[in-house]
Amino acid sequence: MRGLNWVLAVLIVLLQYPLWLGKGSWLKVWDLQRQITEQRAANQVLAARNAQLAAEVNDLKTGYGAIEARARYELGMIRKDEIFFQVMEPAANPPMTRETEP
């Protein structure tokens, strides 16, 4: 009877091994679920970025306001009827000239 108990215990352990540690085990399923959750979060961030870029492309295709804003800020362009003023900060140490030398 004791031998039969050991045989049954070994069979139960052998049947449980694939469930917990085998190819399709619970541990691997939990790990894959964690990876899926992380990937979905990353996909949401990328989808939001793609939506923002798509809106910007649409705005550039249809509206001149976005093109004008990019030209102004990135290229420094001005309109025909505008006056451009460039304000320069004075230098901290003005260069020495011949008249001011001792």
> Does residue 100 surpass a pLDDT of 60?
no
Answering whether pTM is above 0.85, one says no
Task: List, for residues 29-70, the tens digit of each pLDDT value.
Answer: 889 999 999 999 999 999 999 999 999 888 878 877 777 887
CA distances from 58 to 43, 48, 53 (A): 22, 15, 9
pLDDT at 52 (0 to 100): 95
Region of poorest pLDDT, from 2-6, 10-14, 60-64:
60-64
Q: Enter the DSSP assignment of 98.
A: T
One-letter-per-residue 3-state SS of 18-83: HHHHCCCCHHHHHHHHHHHHHHHHHHHHHHHHHHHHHHHHHHHHHCHHHHHHHHHHHHCCCCCCCC
> Does residue 101 surpass a pLDDT of 70?
no
* Residue spans per domain, the chain: 25-77
pLDDT at 76 (0 to 100): 78
